[in-house]
């Protein structure tokens, strides 16, 4: 009797989040890629020895096929054979090809997985480190196998996979009930502690060493990409306040707001909302104009985003910065749209960059990066300034203050340099 065939055909589906992450990567030549900080490298793509151009695009596209269509390592190597052959990456150099494939695919998978895990953290608030535990597993990675940490533990800031080139470790999410039923202990952050790992090959205890990820992998690629979104899930309803007693401009011998000299002239702004309305534009038409100017200023496509390397740190800009629920442009509110030309300068070429520690009610600390830009009007008084906040490498908010806009009670010196002013924290850069 012939075997009855199922009328259903099941095909593996690509991880949507991993594909989305890969599509947003910025392709860079090796020199520019090397100069990026660890968090910024997650959002970029570069291969040592392959300059930006057709060859880099070929490798990039082939890796994307691996994510979307599931092509094998062998197929990837075949598609890029001529590129690798010209560089001698066969024989003894074949490890480089394997490294390019596995590290990039694993990183994309875990970035996507992080978004899924964080989205379920309310119901599954514990994460367990999962190592392969064969002879190829690194001793420090094996030492973490089966250890459970809260989803929002600082441990995952350093040890979320991959934790080295060709790392195969993973993360398993657990409910409170599963942790209890399995008799699992929830650990505190042990990153950087001294441990005595066991060699997976011999079973022998090795000399004590610090528990740290492999060099170049001491970050969390998932949080680097989805940071603002994930933090919103894990810290819903938490209000952050700046620390009291932070250093201010005077501590760094900076002039206060009223005495800033040699400032650039006021930028050529776009027409205000009232001016556009006087020309017969509706709110929707004005919003569309501002949206188009925003994309033009940052060089992003509709629905896209772009990574900027600002003093070795990533700043990710997308249309989400200017849209609210339902995709509506929100920069018409408060007449922020006219300042779009100033936004680009404040992101990529700020006059000052500060790191401001912020704490919640429980004392948990996050670091907020703050860019400041100043400009001067026709007179000698400060004309205004722009404040841009960045959380987890993502532009999270912006405020613009303009003396000449006639804002009642404006006090630039107080807003900038007062006890709770914007210029407080650790000064990273000044013009």
Chain centroid, CA 80 distance in Å: 29
Cα 268 from Cα 276, distance rounded (Å): 16
The residues near 173 (Cβ < 8 Å, ≥ 6 apart) are 117, 120, 121, 124, 126, 127, 128, 151
Cα 18 from Cα 68, distance rounded (Å): 9
Phi, psi of 184 (to 5 degrees): -85, 145
Entry pTM: 0.55
Residue 76 has a pLDDT of 93
In the chain, where are the structural domains located?
12-118, 120-227, 241-430
Residue 420 has a pLDDT of 73
Comparing CA positions, the residue from 24, 35, 220 lying closest to residue 117 is 220
Q: In a structure prediction context, what are the per-residue pLDDT tens digits for the chain, which is 431 residues long?
A: 444 444 444 444 567 888 888 877 777 777 777 767 676 678 778 888 887 578 888 999 999 999 888 889 999 999 999 999 888 888 777 888 998 999 999 999 998 899 889 888 889 999 999 999 888 899 999 999 999 999 989 899 889 999 998 899 999 999 999 999 999 999 999 998 999 999 888 889 989 989 999 888 887 888 777 653 333 333 333 456 666 778 888 888 888 766 766 666 666 788 888 899 899 998 889 888 888 888 888 888 776 667 777 766 667 777 767 765 555 666 666 677 888 888 888 888 888 888 887 776 666 666 778 888 887 766 555 667 788 777 666 676 777 776 544 443 345 567 787 777 888 888 888 87
Cα 29 from Cα 43, distance rounded (Å): 14
Residue 15 has a pLDDT of 76
What is the number of alpha carbons within 13 Å of residue 361 lying toward its C-beta?
Answer: 5
Pull the structure tokens for residue 144: 């973490």
Residue 123 has a pLDDT of 92
Q: Looking at 121-260, list the stretches that DSSP marks H as alpha helix, in order from N- to C-terminal side.
A: 139-144, 155-159, 176-181, 221-234
Cα 81 from Cα 78, distance rounded (Å): 5
Residue 78 has a pLDDT of 92
Residue 381 has a pLDDT of 58
Residue 360 has a pLDDT of 62
∠ CA 57-58-64, nearest 5°, is: 85
Three-state SS at 220: coil
Cα 355 from Cα 247, distance rounded (Å): 11
Comparing CA positions, the residue from 109, 237, 122, 106 lying closest to residue 173 is 122
């Amino acid at each position: 009797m012939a075997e009855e065939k199922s009328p259903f055909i099941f095909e593996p589906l690509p991880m949507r989040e991993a594909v989305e992450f890969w599509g947003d990567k910025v392709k860079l030549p090796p020199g520019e890629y090397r100069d990026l900080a660890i968090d910024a490298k997650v959002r970029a793509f570069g291969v040592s020895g392959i300059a930006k151009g057709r060859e880099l695009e070929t490798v990039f596209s082939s890796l994307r096929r691996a994510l979307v269509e599931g092509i094998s390592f062998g197929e990837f190597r075949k598609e890029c054979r001529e590129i690798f052959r010209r560089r001698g990456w066969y024989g003894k150099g074949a490890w480089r090809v394997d490294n390019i494939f596995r590290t990039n695919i694993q990183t994309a998978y875990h970035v996507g997985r992080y978004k899924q895990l964080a989205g379920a953290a309310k119901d599954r608030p514990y994460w367990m480190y999962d190592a392969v535990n064969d002879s190829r597993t690194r001793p420090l990675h094996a030492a973490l196998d089966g250890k459970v940490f809260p989803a929002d533990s600082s441990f995952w800031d350093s040890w979320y996979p991959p934790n080295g080139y060709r790392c195969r470790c993973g993360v398993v999410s657990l409910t409170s009930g599963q942790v209890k039923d399995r008799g699992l202990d929830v650990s505190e952050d042990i990153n950087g502690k001294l441990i005595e790992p066991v060699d997976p090959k011999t079973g022998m205890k090795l000399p004590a060493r610090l528990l740290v990820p492999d060099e170049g992998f001491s970050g969390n690629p998932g949080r680097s990409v989805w940071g603002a979104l994930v933090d919103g899930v894990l810290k819903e309803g938490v209000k952050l306040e700046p620390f009291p007693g932070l250093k201010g401009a005077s501590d760094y011998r900076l002039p206060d707001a009223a005495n800033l000299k040699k400032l650039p002239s006021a930028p050529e702004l776009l027409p205000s909302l009232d001016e556009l309305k006087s020309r017969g534009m509706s709110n929707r038409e004005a919003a569309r104009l501002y949206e188009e100017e925003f994309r033009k200023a940052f060089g992003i496509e509709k629905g896209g985003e772009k990574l900027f390397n600002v003093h070795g740190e990533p700043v990710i800009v997308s249309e989400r910065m200017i849209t609210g629920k339902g995709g509506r442009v929100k920069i018409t509110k408060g007449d922020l749209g006219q300042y779009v030309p100033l936004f680009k300068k404040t992101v990529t070429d700020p006059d000052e960059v500060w790191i401001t520690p912020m704490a919640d009610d429980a004392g948990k600390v996050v670091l907020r990066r703050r860019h400041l830009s100043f400009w001067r009007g026709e007179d000698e008084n400060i004309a205004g300034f722009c404040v841009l906040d960045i959380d987890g490498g993502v532009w999270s908010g912006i405020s613009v203050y303009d003396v000449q806009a006639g804002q009642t009670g404006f006090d630039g010196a107080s807003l900038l340099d007062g006890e709770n002013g914007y210029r407080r924290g650790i000064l990273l850069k000044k013009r």
